[in-house]
Structure 1
Amino acid sequence: MYIRFVNYLDKINQYRKSKISNRNFLIILAVIVGVLAGLAAAVLKSLTHHIEEFLQSDWHWKYKYYLYFIFPMIGIFLTVLYIKYFIRKTKFETGLTPLLYAISKKSSKVEAHNIYSQIITAAVTVGFGGSTGLEAPIVTSGSAIGSNLGRLLGLSYREITMLVACGAAAGIAGAFNSPVAGIVFAIEILLPEFTIPAFIPLLLSAATAAVVARLFYTQQLFFLVTEGWKVNALFYYVILACFIGLFSIYFTKANYAVKGLFYKIKHPYTKVIVGGLMLGILVFLFPTLYGEGYITIKGLLKGDYQAVINNSIFADYNTIPALVVLFTVVTIFMKSIATLVTLGAGGNGGTFAPSLIMGGLIGFIFAYVVNLSGLAQLNVSNFIVAGMAAALGSIMHAPLTGIFLIAEITGGYILMVPLMITTAISYAINRSSQKHSIYTKALADKGELLSHDDKDTTVLNQMKLKYLIEKTYPQLHMNDLISVKMTEIMQSHKNICAVTDELGDFKGIIYIEELFNEMINHPDKENLQASYLVQPAPNAITENDDLKMVLEKMEQDNVWILPVLTAQNQYLGFVSKTAIFNKYRALLMRQNDYMG
Structure 2
Amino acid sequence: MYIKFVNFVDRFNQYRQSKISNKNFLIIAAVLVGILAGLAASLLKGITHRIEHFLQTDLQWQYKYYLYLLFPTIGILLSVLYVRRFIKKGKFETGLTPLLFAISKKSSKVEAHNSYSQIITSAITVGFGGSTGLEAPIATSGASIGSTLGRFLGLSYRETTLLLACGAASGIAGAFNSPIAGIVFAIEILLPEFTIPVFIPLLLSAATASVVARTFYNEQLFYLVTEGWQMKALGFYVILAVLVGLYSIYFGKVNSAVKGAFYKIKNPYHKIAIGGLMLGVLIFLFPTLYGEGYITINNLLKGDYSSVISNSIFAEFSNLPMVVIAFTVATIMLKSVATLVTLSAGGNGGTFAPSLIIGGLIGFVVAYSINVSGLAEVNTANFIVAGMAAALGSLMHAPLTGIFLIAEITGGYILMVPLMITTAIAYLINRSVSQYSIYTKPLADKGELSHHSDKDTTVLNMMNLKALIEKDQIILVVDDLLRDRVNDVLKSKRNVFPVVDVKGQFKGVIYVEVILEQLLADKNSDLRVNDLMHTEIIPITLNSDLKLVLNRMEEDNLWVLPVVDSLGNYIGLISKTSIFNKYRDILSQQADYLA
Q: Distance in 1 between matches of 2:225 and 2:420?
A: 19
For the 8 Å contact 2:172–2:181, the answer to whether it is kept is: yes
Superposed, 1:553-568 pairs within 5 Å as 553-568=552-567
For the 8 Å contact 1:224–1:381, the answer to whether it is kept is: no
- Give 2:449's aligned residue: 449
- Give 1:245's aligned residue: 245
For the 8 Å contact 1:147–1:163, the answer to whether it is kept is: yes
**SS of equivalent to 1:306:** helix
- Give 1:225's aligned residue: 225
Question: Which letter does structure 2 place at the counterpart of 1:215?
Answer: T
Residue 35 of structure 1, CA deviation: 0.4
- Give 1:35's aligned residue: 35
Superposed, 1:370-449 pairs within 5 Å as 370-449=370-449
Structure 2's unaligned 5+ residue stretches are none
Equivalent residue pairs, number: 595
**SS of equivalent to 2:562:** strand
For the 8 Å contact 1:226–1:382, the answer to whether it is kept is: no
For the 8 Å contact 2:30–2:202, the answer to whether it is kept is: yes
- Give 1:532's aligned residue: 531
Q: Distance in 2 between matches of 1:5 and 1:564?
A: 37
Residue 376 of structure 1, CA deviation: 1.1
Residue 499 of structure 1, CA deviation: 1.2
- Give 2:105's aligned residue: 105
Q: Distance in 2 between matches of 1:540 and 1:8?
A: 44
Residue 227 of structure 1, CA deviation: 2.2
1:522-545 CA deviation, whole Å, 9 max, x = no partner? 3742x2211211122433211221
- Give 2:300's aligned residue: 300
1:398-451 CA deviation, whole Å, 9 max, x = no partner? 000000000000000000000000000000000000110010100001110011
Q: Distance in 2 between matches of 1:204 and 1:348?
A: 29
Q: What TM-score comes out, normalization by structure 1 length?
A: 0.99
Residue 251 of structure 1, CA deviation: 0.2
Q: Distance in 1 between matches of 2:134 and 2:534?
A: 58
Q: Distance in 2 between matches of 1:212 and 1:389?
A: 26
- Give 1:12's aligned residue: 12
Q: Distance in 1 between matches of 2:279 and 2:477?
A: 61
Superposed, 1:26-175 pairs within 5 Å as 26-175=26-175
Which segment drifts farther, 363-372 or 514-523?
514-523
Q: Distance in 2 between matches of 1:262 and 1:78?
A: 19
For the 8 Å contact 1:499–1:508, the answer to whether it is kept is: yes
Q: Distance in 2 between matches of 1:413 and 1:475?
A: 68
For the 8 Å contact 1:136–1:352, the answer to whether it is kept is: yes
**SS of equivalent to 1:463:** coil
Q: What TM-score comes out, normalization by structure 2 length?
A: 0.99
Q: Distance in 2 between matches of 1:3 and 1:538?
A: 45
Q: Distance in 1 between matches of 2:479 and 2:43?
A: 67
Structure 1's unaligned 5+ residue stretches are none
**SS of equivalent to 2:225:** coil
Q: Distance in 2 between matches of 1:303 and 1:191?
A: 39
Q: Distance in 2 between matches of 1:334 and 1:370?
A: 23
Which segment drifts farther, 425-434 or 11-20?
11-20
Q: Distance in 2 between matches of 1:538 and 1:77?
A: 50
Which segment drifts farther, 476-485 or 385-394?
476-485
Q: Distance in 1 between matches of 2:14 and 2:90?
A: 32
Q: Distance in 1 between matches of 2:297 and 2:266?
A: 37
Q: Distance in 2 between matches of 1:560 and 1:225?
A: 63
For the 8 Å contact 1:539–1:553, the answer to whether it is kept is: no
Q: Distance in 1 between matches of 2:225 and 2:291?
A: 25
Which segment drifts farther, 223-232 or 45-54?
223-232
1:202-224 CA deviation, whole Å, 9 max, x = no partner? 00000000000000001000113
- The percent of aligned pairs where both chains have the same amino acid is 68
**SS of equivalent to 1:310:** coil
- Give 2:497's aligned residue: 497
Which segment drifts farther, 83-92 or 404-413?
83-92
Question: Which letter does structure 2 place at the counterpart of 1:99?
Answer: L
Superposed, 1:308-319 pairs within 5 Å as 308-319=308-319
For the 8 Å contact 2:483–2:523, the answer to whether it is kept is: no
1:366-387 CA deviation, whole Å, 9 max, x = no partner? 0111111111111100000000
**SS of equivalent to 1:251:** helix
- Give 1:512's aligned residue: 512
Superposed, 1:324-343 pairs within 5 Å as 324-343=324-343
Q: Distance in 2 between matches of 1:143 and 1:9?
A: 21
Question: Which letter does structure 2 place at the counterpart of 1:374?
Answer: G
Q: Distance in 2 between matches of 1:508 and 1:443?
A: 33
**SS of equivalent to 2:309:** helix
For the 8 Å contact 1:538–1:557, the answer to whether it is kept is: no
